[in-house]
Amino acid sequence: MKTFLLYGSKDIRLTEKPIPEPGEDQVLIKPTFTGICGSDVHYFQHGYCGNFVPKRPFALGHEFAGIIQSVGSNVKELKVGDEVAVDPSMPCGNCKHCRTGHYNLCLSMRYFGSASCDPHIDGAMGQFLVAPAVNCYVLPAGISMAQASLLEPLCVAMHAVKRVDQIAGTSVLITGGGPIGQLILRVVRAFGAYQITVSDVNEFAREFSLKSGADQVVNPLDEHAWKSCSNIDIVFEASGVPSALANGLQVTRRGGSVVLVGTLPESFSIPGNLIMNRELKLYGSFRFANVFEDAMNMVAAGIINLDGIVTDTYSFDKIPEAMQRALEKKGVMKVQITL
């Protein structure tokens, strides 16, 4: 089988390797649609992603859906030809976090297409991969494989939204109009937020947000624009930019909530007294837990709309070009690979 492996910064090479054999509780999958994530782009650009530094070449791609090719001897619920979405999380199942339902916090988490675990697990930028059967969800009517490859980032968005107790009837600001910000926008709309603002320095992201149903957009570089934005109940920081967080904290109402979902720099200063004397609530949000099936069913039922998120589609053999395109900010929301 053919696989694209990441060797280093801007260095992705087509290689041949044997088709893996599924273990007794695993299935062999042919990924048919794979989304390129911000983290994939980071690996491609720098050769590493934050603390995750690859020790050997590996295949990226953790946002995927595909078709079952063969099943292990213990697998009863899946059969050859099933179209499945795959939850890329493989937590240990035994630690305190796993046992209390917070498996996204598992320190022994293994994840497709990530150098966060050693050995690294090849992702969907190869023609085939094996996955635990329990990670596979047969697609219900109403959701395509192309849409299903957006479920992983949708789950990241849904987990962030679920960090706060109530969304219905609230005003929301999303700082950062990239794919995660856009998906948060669609989730909070589905969950009943009454007013949604998106801030982004990028005009394309602002226009995109309006088309996605935002009530208003703000260019954070425009000081006057912030005047229209105050007393926000809940802020989602999805840009990873410290000044966006500072702006978000400023416009949060007293007693309001701020959820950090973007990857921020290791350390920077924040207005501590503002958080203290306004009794702001700060939440971290990392990957997701216990939302995959709900997210899938909400898309299938038409409650969450994923239309337009994918702006560019490339065939498997054009993966290096697809990565390069995903690096560009102009006119790109989500780049998808199809096999």
Cα 69 versus chain centre, distance: 26
E strand or H helix that includes residue 129: strand 129-132
Smallest separation, CB 94 to Zn ion (Å): 6
Among residues 92 and 327, whose Cβ is nearest to Zn ion?
92
Smallest separation, CB 284 to Zn ion (Å): 17
Smallest separation, CB 60 to Zn ion (Å): 10
How many beta carbons lie within 10 A of that of residue 80, not counting itself? 11
β-strand partners of 83: 67
Residue 279 exposed, middle or buried by CB count within 10 Å (0-12, 13-18, 19+): exposed
Smallest separation, CB 106 to Zn ion (Å): 3
Among residues 95 and 300, whose Cβ is nearest to Zn ion?
95
Q: Are 238 and 181 in contact (CB under 8 A)?
A: yes
Q: Are 108 and 95 in contact (CB under 8 A)?
A: yes
Among residues 71 and 174, whose Cβ is nearest to Zn ion?
174
- Tokens, residue 277: 């004397």
Among residues 106 and 193, whose Cβ is nearest to Zn ion?
106
What is the separation, in whole angstroms, between the first and last Cα of the chain?
13
Smallest separation, CB 153 to Zn ion (Å): 5
Rounded CA gap, 199 and 206, in Å?
7
E strand or H helix that includes residue 197: strand 195-199
Closest Cα to residue 236, out of 161, 158, 305, 307?
161
Cα 297 versus chain centre, distance: 17
Rounded CA gap, 200 and 35, in Å?
22
Among residues 91 and 178, whose Cβ is nearest to Zn ion?
91
Smallest separation, CB 117 to Zn ion (Å): 12
Smallest separation, CB 116 to Zn ion (Å): 12
Residues that bind Zn ion in the complex, under the rule CB under 5 A? 37, 91-92, 95, 98, 106, 153
Among residues 56 and 99, whose Cβ is nearest to Zn ion?
99
Q: Are 215 and 233 in contact (CB under 8 A)?
A: no
Q: Are 121 and 6 in contact (CB under 8 A)?
A: no
Smallest separation, CB 8 to Zn ion (Å): 21
Among residues 41 and 98, whose Cβ is nearest to Zn ion?
98
Rounded CA gap, 188 and 234, in Å?
10
Among residues 19 and 92, whose Cβ is nearest to Zn ion?
92
Query: How is residue 52 annotated by DSSP?
Result: B
